[in-house]
Amino acid sequence: MSAAPAGPTGAPGRRAAFRGLVDFHTHLHLYPDPAAEADAIAASGARCVAASVDVPSYLATLAAAAGRPAVVPTFGVHPARALSYAGRESELEPYLAASPLIGEIGLDHLWARDVPREAQRRVFERLAGRAAELGRYCVVHTKAAEAEVLETLRAVRASRVVIHWYSGPMGILGRMIDEGYYFTFGCSLRRWPMSRAAARRVPAERLLVETDNPVGEPWLGGSRTDIGLAERAVRDLARARGAAPEELRSQIRRNSMRIFRESGLA
Ligand SMILES: [Zn+2]
């Protein structure tokens, strides 16, 4: 697949014929050779939103994405990395300004328990707030902090939101759906009944797929770390929802491209 020329901001040029899927959550910087993986994603006909977790991972992601329009590098501070940036949020401004979407950001009260909640809250509030002011989508991690994430997003008036791998209470999921958020589903669909229940609840026009590569599937006991996991997620979603896979795939592609258009990427 021939790559469209990069636009002035590094955004892909027009590619009216894009028929592939967008992997809406991957961590390119965690591959041993991020540039080679970026090439593999482009060769597969897919595109990806490559989330960073701090400044060094963003710079590594940017380097891997250079000249590869299939990869959209995004800046974020993961809650597990928040302590390094709490109190220094203004230093993040140039990275936020350059990033077409903001992520990964959020709160984590389970796996990042060693990071004080106050530091997590402070960094998340600032980044989500700047995303809202800039009119950008943010990709949000919510582990065991779903109610507080929702409160914060509402408080800073962030409405362009993609919730990544939701695994919280169904009541809060319902409130997030009411807010108009998008949701990514991926590797857990075939293993967690909770993910399938959430996937049935989200309206079709808010569904996205993710791989959370290269850590998602191995963390669940699998071994794959390839972009094909995005197509597998579509099939698993279709099975969970009792939907026709081809129809659902088209819908997910349209949803992804809507966000890309609104982000100046398509
Ligand atoms: Zn992630």
Q: Tell me, in angstroms, the distance from the centre of ligand 1 to residue 103's CA.
A: 9
Q: Tell me, in angstroms, the distance from the centre of ligand 1 to residue 6's CA.
A: 26
Selection from 115, 116, 114, 138 nearest residue 126 by Cα: 138
- Considering the domain boundaries, does residue 7 fall inside one? no
Q: Tell me, in angstroms, the distance from the centre of ligand 1 to residue 10's CA.
A: 23
Q: Tell me, in angstroms, the distance from the centre of ligand 1 to residue 26's CA.
A: 7
Give the list of residues 6+ apart from residue 131 with CB closer than 8 angstroms, or none. 96, 102, 105, 137, 138, 158, 160
pLDDT digits (tens), the chain, 266 positions:
333 334 334 444 444 457 899 999 999 999 999 999 999 999 999 999 999 999 999 999 999 999 999 999 999 999 999 999 999 999 999 999 999 999 999 999 999 999 999 999 999 999 999 999 999 999 999 999 999 999 999 999 999 999 999 999 999 999 999 999 999 999 999 999 999 999 999 999 999 999 999 999 999 999 999 999 999 999 999 999 999 999 999 999 999 999 999 999 97
- Considering the domain boundaries, does residue 10 fall inside one? no
pTM (2 d.p.): 0.93
Domain extent for 165: 22-262
What is the SS3 assignment for 47?
Answer: strand
Q: Tell me, in angstroms, the distance from the centre of ligand 1 to residue 169's CA.
A: 20
User: What is residue 1's predicted lDDT score, i.e. its pLDDT?
Assistant: 36
Tell me the pLDDT tens digit for each residue of 59-85: 999 999 999 999 999 999 999 999 999
User: What is residue 114's predicted lDDT score, i.e. its pLDDT?
Assistant: 97
CB atoms inside a 10 Å sphere around CB 258: 13
- Considering the domain boundaries, does residue 1 fall inside one? no
Q: Tell me, in angstroms, the distance from the centre of ligand 1 to residue 77's CA.
A: 10
Q: Tell me, in angstroms, the distance from the centre of ligand 1 to residue 126's CA.
A: 19
How many structural domains is the chain composed of? 1
Six-digit token string for 211: 């791989």
- Considering the domain boundaries, does residue 11 fall inside one? no
Q: Tell me, in angstroms, the distance from the centre of ligand 1 to residue 165's CA.
A: 9
- Considering the domain boundaries, does residue 67 fall inside one? yes
- Considering the domain boundaries, does residue 14 fall inside one? no
Six-digit token string for 55: 């400044």
User: What is residue 9's predicted lDDT score, i.e. its pLDDT?
Assistant: 42
- Considering the domain boundaries, does residue 9 fall inside one? no
* CATH code, domain carrying 148: 3.20.20.140
Q: Tell me, in angstroms, the distance from the centre of ligand 1 to residue 224's CA.
A: 16
- Considering the domain boundaries, does residue 130 fall inside one? yes
